[in-house]
Every structure is written in C-alpha cells, then in structure tokens.
Amino acid sequence: MQRTVILASTSRYRRELMNRLHLPFEVHAPDVDETPLPGESPAAIANRLALEKARAVARRFPEAVVIGSDQVADLAGESLGKPGDHERATAQLRRMRGQTLVFQTAVAVVCQATGFAQQDIAPVRVVFRDLNDAAIERYLRLEQPYDCAGSAKSEGLGIALLEAIDSDDPSALVGLPLIRTCRMLRAAGVDLL
C-alpha cells in the first residue's frame, strides 16, 4: 500500500521542488511557531522546525508520510530570516556583500502510524559578491525576493549576486534538499520510481 505523501509547508518553492519528483502529494500548512529559541544556532533552528512541521501535520494525518523542511541563512552564527520587505532585504544584502553564508536547509520525514522519523540537514555554503548599493537596488526591484531567507533567489537573477555555491544537494539552496528527501522517502516505504 502506497501511503499518502504530504508536504508540510506553505512554500511555493518547496511545492515546485516536490513536483520534480512526479510523485502525487498533498500540501498542508503545519501551523508551527517559527520563533527561534534563546541561544539557538541557525542549524538547530532549521532542524527543530523541520521536525516540528512534519510532526504537526502527521498528528492530523497519522497514516501519511509527511515531509517538513526549514531553511535558515547563517551569517557567522547569526540567523537571517526572510526579510519581508524591501528595506529589510536591502539591509540584509548590504550585510552579506563579500561574505560567505551557510544556508542551513533541514528536512524531516515522519509517519506517525509506523513510528518512522528521520531528519537531516544540507548545509549550503554561498559566497556573495562584493555588491554595490545600485546593484542591490536593481536586483531587489527586479526580483522582489522578500519571502526568501537571505533575500536572494539563486534559481533566478539572484545567481548574479554570487561568486560560488558549494553543496552536495543542489536543490537545498532553493528550500528542500531533494537527494536527502528521496533517501528518507524510500526509507519510509515510498516507491519513487
């Protein structure tokens, strides 16, 4: 019996990545408080939230295999979230110019009925160019990446902001590490092919 697969996310980027797998899946909002805990590192935030999102939806759909994911931009140990607006995005990109960030992208797969639970994190090292203010402004006006951690979309024009990307799971920077997700789905009994 193939279990229902659910993506516990409202992110259109994660939904687009899941579509690449040609696997039927549902999408349900996890309704999880994403406030970082005091002293929590960026990687710990991403890991905790990915698992909490998967478990929150698995409680509502105990027979399903549920995928939760979270991404936190890590600038020298400081968490950078989604900017939400132009002003905050400008400030983020100014701080990031010439810097190396690690985008901590965590994924968790849970099936409450079978007791299955696995999680992993795919750190992506990203080197930003030393951008001038005019380039930052042009980029933000064209792409408006206000719903993206770190204010940059590498799958679009944001690639022009970067010097290098280093990752063993290329989709992780977009928001869902598909290599790790596929591995966990197979372990949970989902036939991908």
Q: 180: Cβ–Cβ under 8 A, 6 or more apart, which residues?
A: 107, 120, 122, 169, 172
Alpha-carbon distances of 123 from 50, 58, 168, rounded to whole Å: 14, 25, 9
DSSP character at residue 63: T
Q: Which of 33, 70, 85, 166 is catalytic?
A: 70
Checking phi first, is residue 51 left (phi over 0); if not, alpha (psi -120 to 50) or beta? alpha
* Kind of pairing between the strands at 65-75 and 100-111: antiparallel
Residue 187's CB: how many other CB atoms inside 10 A?
11
86-96 vs 133-143: helix crossing angle, rounded to 10: 140
Catalytic annotation on 70?
A: yes
Q: Which residues are catalytic?
A: 70
